[in-house]
């Protein structure tokens, strides 16, 4: 039977565990009058410099250290009442908008300290760095683009938060404060009602169209912030090549539908595509070329609607996912260069492969004859299936696998035993 003294010793740490599960009240610890923050500074004397910052967190300024920290013990680092940003949410519970359309990952994960100093800072909102510097630490590719483009977008240079809500948006994707064109017009940057605006768009009533179909919001090397790759009719301001007259009842209607519209200019390309044995189905679908290409301008080459990886991934998400989980990465897939092996429009070969022979195709990158001594060739039958010959794909899975060298089975064991049964 446990004595009363031992029982008390057991209950004391339990009490601290319970205490550490919620934010601490103003005087839960019965501190002496006037002791609060002043008492902490007796040991944490270097903290005086933090208090000299132009921006100091309100609880710190008021000496309410115990609002976040326990002076005795806690289950979390730095004697916090809860894990990291969960303490922040006790006061900032509405930081993520209700029914948010998009949210910032670090906020959802309560990693507030990635952006904010919980005590004090030289930057507004207690940011650990100036806002734009902070954003590009994670969004490095976007930061490089913004820094390198010839034509800058003024709101971006002034600060990302001009257009984005850093925590979450109840109205739009990508943390935007509103969807374009409302965002662009409401900011009073682009007066869509002016004659000069209509003239710049060749008379077409684009005030209600999505600006980012043609323009890069983060800057561009093209005048008018057009994306770097511009469709020739747009570059020449010849919108009527594809669209009805701007003064017609339906100015945005195209003169023809689907692939037939593209055939007006790209007849040779369409003939080449349609002459193949295997035509990629998006070409023949109702939207035709628009399944993969942007009709106006694009940040990607070939007027792709997005990066090659994201464009192909819209339909072939399983292939992209397999590559991401693969132990050994196949460079063309990992870099989004599917076109190195496949013809995106179609070909006379299965799977739209650019070469009929797997040896020829793989041999463009891999000198397979030098790194493997295993017999292979069109005159050798695969013992697992008499209808197949031995080639690169007999052992390797081109889009990746859970084994090294993207083999179908464990290398030098399970793989070999698929054919060499007598080795078991």
Q: Encode 210-245 in three state secondary structure.
A: CHHHCECCCCECCHHHECCEECHHHHCCCHHHCECC
Q: In which residue are the tokens 């339909």 written? A: 315
Nearest-angstrom CA–CA distance, 277 and 118: 64
**To the nearest 5 percent, what fractions of the chain are helix, strand and coil?**
40, 10, 45
Nearest-angstrom CA–CA distance, 398 and 121: 51
Nearest-angstrom CA–CA distance, 416 and 420: 6
What pLDDT is attached to residue 61? Answer: 87
Nearest-angstrom CA–CA distance, 23 and 68: 6
**Taking the complete model, does pTM exceed 0.85, yes or no?**
no
User: How buried is 160 (Cβ within 10 angstroms: 0-12 exposed, 13-18 middle, 19+ buried)?
Assistant: buried
Q: What is the pLDDT along the chain (424 residues), one digit of tens a residue?
A: 344 333 333 333 333 333 333 455 545 667 666 566 777 888 888 888 888 999 999 988 888 888 888 888 888 888 888 887 788 888 888 899 889 999 999 999 989 999 999 999 999 999 999 998 999 999 999 999 999 999 999 999 999 999 999 999 999 999 999 999 999 987 678 888 889 999 999 999 999 899 999 999 999 999 999 999 999 999 999 999 999 999 999 999 999 998 899 999 999 999 999 888 899 999 989 899 999 999 999 999 999 998 899 999 999 999 999 988 999 999 998 888 999 999 999 998 989 999 999 889 998 998 877 766 788 888 899 988 888 889 999 989 999 899 998 899 887 678 888 888 776 5
How many helices (DSSP H) and strands (DSSP E) are in the chain?
Answer: 21, 10
């Amino acid at each position: 039977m446990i004595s009363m003294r031992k029982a008390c010793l057991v209950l004391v740490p339990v009490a601290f565990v319970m205490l550490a599960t919620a934010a601490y009240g103003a005087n839960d610890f019965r501190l002496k009058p006037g002791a609060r923050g002043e008492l902490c500074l007796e040991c944490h004397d270097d903290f005086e410099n933090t208090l000299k910052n132009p921006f100091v967190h309100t609880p710190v300024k008021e000496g309410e250290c115990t609002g976040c920290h326990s002076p005795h013990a806690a289950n979390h680092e730095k004697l916090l009442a809860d894990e990291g940003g969960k303490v922040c949410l006790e006061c900032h519970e509405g930081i993520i908008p209700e029914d948010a359309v998009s949210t910032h990952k670090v906020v959802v994960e309560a990693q507030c300290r990635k952006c904010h100093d919980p005590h004090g800072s030289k930057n507004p909102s207690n940011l650990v760095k100036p806002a734009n510097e902070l954003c590009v630490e994670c969004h490095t590719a976007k930061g490089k683009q913004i820094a390198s483009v010839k034509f800058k977008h003024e709101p971006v240079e002034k600060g990302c938060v001009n257009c984005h809500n850093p925590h979450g948006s109840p109205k739009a994707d990508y943390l935007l404060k509103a969807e374009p064109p409302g965002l662009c017009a409401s900011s009073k940057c682009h007066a869509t009602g002016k004659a000069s605006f209509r003239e710049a768009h060749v008379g077409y009533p684009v005030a209600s169209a999505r600006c980012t179909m043609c323009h890069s919001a983060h800057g561009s090397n093209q005048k008018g912030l057009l994306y770097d790759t511009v469709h020739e009719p747009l570059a020449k301001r010849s919108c009527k090549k594809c669209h009805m007259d701007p003064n017609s009842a339906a100015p945005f209607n195209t003169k023809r539908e689907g692939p037939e519209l593209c055939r007006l200019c790209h007849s040779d390309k369409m003939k080449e595509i349609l002459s193949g044995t295997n035509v990629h189905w998006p070409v023949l679908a109702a939207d035709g070329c628009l399944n993969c290409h942007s009709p106006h301008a694009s940040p990607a080459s070939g007027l792709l609607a997005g990066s090659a990886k994201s464009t192909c991934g819209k339909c072939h998400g399983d292939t992209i996912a397999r590559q991401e989980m693969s132990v050994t990465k196949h460079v063309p897939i990992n870099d989004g260069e599917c076109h190195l092996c496949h013809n995106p429009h179609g070909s006379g070969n299965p799977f739209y492969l650019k070469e009929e022979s797997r040896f020829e195709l793989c041999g463009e990158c891999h000198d397979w004859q030098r790194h493997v001594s295993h017999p292979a060739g069109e005159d050798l039958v695969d013992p697992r299936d008499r209808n197949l010959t031995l080639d690169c794909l007999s052992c390797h899975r081109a889009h990746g696998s859970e084994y090294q060298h993207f083999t179908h089975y464990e290398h030098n064991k399970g793989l070999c035993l698929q054919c060499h049964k007598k080795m078991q």
